[in-house]
Amino acid sequence: MSDTDALEKELLTAIDQAEDEAALEAIRIAELGKKGRISDMMKGLGKMSPEERKEAGPRLNGLRDRVQGAIGAKREVLAEKAIEARLQAERLDVTLPVRAGPAGRGRIHPISQVIDEISAIFGDLGFQIAEGPDIETDYYNFTALNFPEGHPAREMHDTFFLQPDENGERKVLRTHTSPVQVRTMEAQQPPIRIVIPGKTYRQDSDATHTPMFHQLEGLVVDTTSNIANMKWVLEEFCKAFFEVPSLNMRFRPSFFPFTEPSLEVDIQCDRSGSEVRFGEGNDWMEILGCGMVHPNVLRGVGLDPDVYQGFAWGMGIDRIAMLKYGMPDLRAFFDADVRWLEHYGFRPLDMPTLFGGLSQ
């Protein structure tokens, strides 16, 4: 009797002092497991006489039940303490602002946004998007665009030349997206209405120039296209892109080898304040170059210039993005500065549309 009382006192003290569930489980296994002390004592009941078993059985069963109950009660206490400790360790300050998810933190680069805006505008006017390779042959980058061999017009661009191939031909990083115009005219018959946003490359770097930049060109080829059509398209684009109800445009004579006549386009603006405002004021700003497709270019792709005529234009996407959104330095477009992107970037789900607003 005294042995079981002493054992019970010992076990209840050990259970009460257990600091965690692992220690408590070790006590249970050591005392109530298959090889535990209480289990061994229970196995000894079979060797006792009926009188001894009648006395020892209830005593051992009671000891086992009380120990199991103490372990269960202690386990609940330890579980509550573990929850309290976890709540203390994982406490959240509900006064802090909620962290935005990826869709809220992410930003669309201004160049990608402006290309989407351009696509929305010209898509509404019935144009298709055309693309072509960044690495071009001399033929597509110069010759097919009315830049004869040795012609000084080839020096208009500071070109990146690649190493000669086995045939001695030196390919180039395209200096404009105009080669896509030639490839499109070779691949399909008029009527053609395309715009070509893409990367171009020239050896130039300062606040308004980078060695790699983005250019937009457009091409229309048909039997009836003319300068009046071109002026209307460009005016509609500029009004929609800069989101103004009206603006004046000024066309000045210029020179491009692949157009004749060639024109530079200025748009009305006001520079009197801290930002440039388009569609108002008495100032002018050059925005793009354009012209009627040169007959030599049409002949080069197998089109009769007496039947077909077209017009084309080109502008820097990076530059019009700077003008519209007030960005002072073109080089920041390519610095991968997250702070700059958070300031000038666009929310991913704000897709530009003509009916919903381009720059939302």
pLDDT along the chain (360 residues), means of 10: 68 79 79 72 72 72 77 84 84 76 80 90 93 91 85 69 83 91 94 94 74 92 94 93 90 92 92 82 90 94 94 92 84 85 81 67
Instruction: Looking at the structure, tell me whether residues 66 and 111 fall in a common domain.
Output: no
Which residue blocks in the chain are alpha helix, DSSP H?
2-17, 21-32, 37-43, 50-89, 102-105, 110-124, 138-141, 178-187, 227-242, 295-300, 317-325, 338-344
Report DSSP state, residue 307.
T
Residue 360 located in a structural domain: no
Residue 355 located in a structural domain: no
How high is the pLDDT of residue 293?
Answer: 95
How high is the pLDDT of residue 338?
Answer: 86
How high is the pLDDT of residue 1?
Answer: 44
Residue 147's domain is classified under what CATH number?
A: 3.30.930.10
Full DSSP string of 90-145:
T---TTSPPPP-HHHH--B-HHHHHHHHHHHHHHHTT-EE----SEE-HHHHTGGG
How high is the pLDDT of residue 331?
Answer: 83
Residue 278 located in a structural domain: yes
- If we measure between CA atoms, which residue out of 324, 298, 328 comes closest to residue 311? 298
How high is the pLDDT of residue 300?
Answer: 92
Long-range contacts of 63-68 (CB under 8 A, 24+ apart): 63/4, 63/7, 63/8, 63/38, 64/32, 64/38, 66/8, 66/12, 67/8, 67/11, 67/12, 67/15, 67/31, 67/32, 67/38, 68/32
How high is the pLDDT of residue 202?
Answer: 86
Instruction: Looking at the structure, tell me whether residues 125 and 260 fall in a common domain.
Output: yes
Q: Quick check: pTM over 0.75?
A: no
Q: What residues have CB less than 8 Å from 357, skipping those under 6 apart?
A: 243
DSSP-based three-state secondary structure for 17: helix
Residues 266 and 249 sit within 8 Å (Cβ to Cβ): yes
How high is the pLDDT of residue 73?
Answer: 84
Instruction: Looking at the structure, tell me whether residues 151 and 292 fall in a common domain.
Output: yes
Instruction: Looking at the structure, tell me whether residues 293 and 182 fall in a common domain.
Output: yes
Residue 267 located in a structural domain: yes
Domain tally, the chain:
2
Instruction: Looking at the structure, tell me whether residues 64 and 150 fall in a common domain.
Output: no
Q: What range does the domain containing 69 cover?
A: 2-89
How high is the pLDDT of residue 332?
Answer: 84
- If we measure between CA atoms, which residue out of 116, 104, 128 comes closest to residue 358? 116
Residue 100 located in a structural domain: no
Residues 267 and 278 sit within 8 Å (Cβ to Cβ): yes
Instruction: Looking at the structure, tell me whether residues 159 and 239 fall in a common domain.
Output: yes
How high is the pLDDT of residue 155?
Answer: 66
Q: What residues have CB less than 8 Å from 203, skipping those under 6 apart?
A: 158, 159, 160, 211
How high is the pLDDT of residue 157?
Answer: 64
